[in-house]
Structure 1
């Protein structure tokens, strides 16, 4: 008798029982991991594509993945630091998350998915993917959970992106750049980052995350800028035509369609531009040392800040909001972890209030007393421009820079952030492939498609 897919049950069972135990010798353990996971890939290849598997085949695939993931976790327990040293040339190289993962796939086959494996899943809806993000989550949990490698990785992600370095001379000369979904303009001492992903009410996707980080880098690198301002552009959507919207959070349609990157979006936004709000930019000075460039940030919330939009407010120095705006973190409805909000929101609102927002879906309106824990100034929507200008004046001071740094050091030490991100790396990867999330985003996508059809 064989399981569906043609592989005898004994072959699966014997392989799963033979998860390699590390010896402590890196080369030997890496070879054992490679051989073991290669066999696992052969077992998966004997099955139909995930979308075509019957329940028994789906169960078989999960068992194969579980055993391979256990092997990866066991390998990393004694070897995380040695693996990272090899991938970063003893700490002299500073690869970003995606580069690091693909370098690990080449240097230690079977440890993380290769570029070929991830590219093979492009175009698949999230529910039809094998769960390669979980394999990446195991890797990044180990790196971030180890103090020496985690701190180095956090610092590496605080460096300017190559795209920003390329665009900097032009921005310094003109004071303006259109990045696609973000428009950056220097007005006086402030760099205004205006989000205009209008088709999706400024919802976040891979492109927006990349554009935001480039804009943040440019604002931090330009010596004429002393304050950064975040605001949403006026919308072209019929329901909000002409009104500014701050952010609708993650693009759930793209999440359903498998178009949200784990490394570049879900991890990259937290370790990238949002971390730069808090910790500043690490700018190389020509040697192995870096200097840190920090500036205060103001967020101006028109209409709403949902999900990832609200998460941004927890990382900036001043928030002004229109009296008709609201804030929400619909984590329970979406099913995923709302970034670093679980670490930061309780500090601002208290544990009970944070649970009401994150676990209970509590929507906080700017005019409510509780909103004073989230924003610094609530004004008539017609007075938002003046409130932004006033906020810039308040933050435009060298003393503000020094004191915000000390506040951030006290409120969120790097090691607290590192430890949180280690668990987040794994938790978010698992949530991406959980049945409830896949079901929710599928229903959301169906509703959105129905609304579009009705609009025609």
Structure 2
């Protein structure tokens, strides 16, 4: 058993040394053990004890000094750091507080079951940052800025009206931006790459002054079971999760604080009306073909109008997967009520588009061959400046920014723990094994 570390107190410099010293002791112990996959029960227990001791110190440090740390990293809030930049800066300026770049390189090369769980330390850090009324608000505002990739691609999109981003095709038709998810290899299951492409596409649609309304829809699949059919989304890519390629920062948190938050609340950017409304926002339509599972269902909760084909369904199998379904827990209860929310999230209920309860998530159900016409009608109807203002006020009333911030603070911690829980790793491993056997 490790000796108890020195106490983390109110003096920032002294507390920083305690964090570094405790982290180094834990790292030395872990380095003396076999790789995580090859540890016996006694070695796993010793590793867990060392990591938990260091995490208790980090948690105490951030509860006392989180705001001061954030002010230092952002130069008194003058720097708009996105999540990767923020945690990278913390790793350099506060050694041992979050994993270093070198530690992450080693960790990222491992499968999910073979990792040390270093992202949990990022969760501890970000929980306290997001809990802070000032630091958390500043971070969320920084994540609402356009990405460098989008700014670089904007001239081309404005000139041509179309871009292929890899996971998403973006096309301007009239005044509407059509975002088509085209991950045909995995039924539009999301991974780090998909989140990057989606945020770029959303940014471009919001930045382009020729666009006044947006559409998200799945493209036609090449998967043998769904050959030639449109599919909205199969949720998180469980194969990528099993392989250790789903990131807390670049996927789970960036997804919520990045493109989904921009869909709901808009893009923070200098523009002619910034003096009265500091964001550019536009109405959005979602068109669901076949199914919207997991993350796909989460997306529907922020759209202004949701269309669904009669043969489609929606599900949010969070309990089966073992992870937290993004901000779905925050939004589903508001839309559908607590009982249905529990049936869907905790019990795995699947809601078919033709069921009466589907009306809590879907605005219009149409025959598959009428989807294109329904999409066109919805885009035309929402193409109005008055819609933009009123959606802003509806969203403000339904989900105040402070409520979202509080939820994301706890989400950062709990989701990081879920990623490395034994039940999640076991379920994902069984899923990928079953998928390989049916390939």
Give me the TM-score of the superposition, normalised by structure 1: 0.94
Q: Does residue 339 in structure 1 map to residue 326 in structure 2?
A: yes
Please point out which of 221, 229, 232 is paired with 1:243: 229
Residue 192 of structure 1: aligned partner: 178
Q: Is the 8 A contact 1:44 1:61 kept in 2?
A: yes
Q: Is the 8 A contact 2:170 2:178 kept in 1?
A: yes
Distance 1:48 1:284, change over 3 A: farther
Please point out which of 216, 219, 232 is paired with 1:233: 219
Q: Does residue 67 in structure 1 map to residue 56 in structure 2?
A: no
Unaligned ranges ≥5, structure 1 = 1-11
Residue 64 of structure 2: aligned partner: 78
Q: Matched residues in 2 for 1:396 and 1:147: separation?
A: 35
* Structural mapping, 1:152-171, within 5 Å: 152-171=138-157
Residue 349 of structure 1: aligned partner: 336
Residue 135 of structure 2: aligned partner: 149
Residue 323 of structure 1: aligned partner: 310
Q: Matched residues in 1 for 2:240 and 2:2: separation?
A: 37
Q: Matched residues in 2 for 1:372 and 1:78: separation?
A: 46
Q: Deviation per CA, 1:342-384, whole angstroms, max 9, x where unpaired? A: 0000111010011000001000000111101111100000000
Deviation beyond 6 Å, 4+ runs, structure 1: none
Please point out which of 403, 407, 423 is paired with 2:390: 403
Secondary structure of residue in 1 paired with 2:269: strand
Residue 13 of structure 1: aligned partner: 2
* Structural mapping, 1:27-426, within 5 Å: 27-284=13-270, 291-426=278-413
CA apart distance, 1:22: 2.4
Unaligned ranges ≥5, structure 2 = none
Comparing 35-44 with 303-312, greater Cα deviation is found at 35-44
Q: Deviation per CA, 1:389-446, whole angstroms, max 9, x where unpaired? A: 0000111000000000000100000110000001111110000011110000000010
Q: Deviation per CA, 1:8-47, whole angstroms, max 9, x where unpaired? A: xxxx332xx22x3222121221122111211111111111
Q: Matched residues in 2 for 1:436 and 1:240: separation?
A: 30
Secondary structure of residue in 2 paired with 1:185: strand
Q: Matched residues in 1 for 2:408 and 2:56: separation?
A: 21
Q: Matched residues in 2 for 1:306 and 1:370: separation?
A: 16
Q: Matched residues in 1 for 2:143 and 2:19: separation?
A: 28
Secondary structure of residue in 2 paired with 1:73: helix
Q: Deviation per CA, 1:90-121, whole angstroms, max 9, x where unpaired? A: 11111111111011000000000011111111
Q: Is the 8 A contact 1:43 1:64 kept in 2?
A: yes
Taking only aligned residues, the RMSD between alpha carbons, in angstroms, comes to: 1.2
Give me the TM-score of the superposition, normalised by structure 2: 0.98
Q: Matched residues in 2 for 1:280 and 1:186: separation?
A: 19
Number of equivalent positions: 437
Secondary structure of residue in 1 paired with 2:185: helix
Q: Is the 8 A contact 2:2 2:50 kept in 1?
A: no
Q: Matched residues in 2 for 1:83 and 1:339: separation?
A: 26
Q: Is the 8 A contact 1:231 1:299 kept in 2?
A: yes
Q: Is the 8 A contact 2:336 2:360 kept in 1?
A: yes
Q: Matched residues in 2 for 1:187 and 1:25: separation?
A: 58
Comparing 20-29 with 366-375, greater Cα deviation is found at 20-29
Secondary structure of residue in 1 paired with 2:211: coil
Q: Matched residues in 2 for 1:155 and 1:164: separation?
A: 17
